[in-house]
Amino acid sequence: MLAEDRLNAIVSMVQQAGSVTVPELAEALGVTASTIRRDLQTLDRAHRIAKVHGGATSLERAHVTRDLTLNERSDLHNDDKERICARAAALVEPESFVYIDSGSTTLRLIEHLPHLEDVTYVTDSVLHAQRLALRGMRTVVLGGELKPETEALVGPDALATLDRYNFNCGFWGSNGIAAEQGFTAPDIEEAQVKRVSMRHTAKRYVISDASKFGMVAPVKFADFRDATIITAGEVPAKYRAMDNVVTV
């Protein structure tokens, strides 16, 4: 089997199973474990799968246990994200003080925001702040330590800044959404920023595609009923009738 064919076969197996181990791949493809490990590194760098300890997982599953980079997330569920962001952007009103969380869906939201009178946007993301400023939006960026994977600002300075603000509305991403476990994220420090920013916001919206429902990441930052969820895609039946779930 040619190397390119083997790489494509690995991607296909990961997508079908969700996650696979190095021994499983080696046996199925008739190559050594060291060859599989090199292949996984190649595919991980190309953002086709996520390499984890002992094997690989699909990008859609990887976001539950670790923060994917914005590049890894940006091409997932594009059509759904467009519909979600168009609906969410319409919720911003003139003379509002608005919080925008870091993440690929909230980054897409910025492109849909209307130019309204006297609206100020606050974000924990350096990239989001740049995009807002390029669109001519009044923008405030939190202080704190920069987290390379997500380009988000975290830590005591970010939390102290949030404690001084009260937002009319805000938009967050979430790695996991579950009725019992609430909204969850992989990183403790980012979850703290999400938690505090939500606490200071009157109208809270989680914008996320349907793949996040039923997923549970390690750190909870809000209860399921703490926000309205704007979503698109194949939402599980359990959630479709809930009054805080809006499907577009």
Task: Tell me how far apart the alpha carbons of residues 77 and 246 are, in angstroms, rounded to a whole number.
Answer: 17
Indicate the burial class of 142 (C-beta count within 10 angstroms; 0-12, 13-18, 19 or more).
Answer: buried
pLDDT of residue 64: 56
pLDDT of residue 66: 53
Q: Is the pLDDT higher at 185 or at 172? A: 172
Which range, of 20-34, 125-139, 161-175, averages the lowest pLDDT?
Answer: 20-34
Domains of the chain by range and CATH?
Answer: 3-57 (1.10.10.10), 73-247 (3.40.50.1360)
Sign of the C-alpha dihedral, residues 67, 160, 128, 86? positive
pLDDT, tens only, 88-126 = 999 999 999 999 999 999 999 999 999 999 999 999 999
Answer whether 54's CB lies under 8 Å from 22's CB: yes
pTM: 0.74
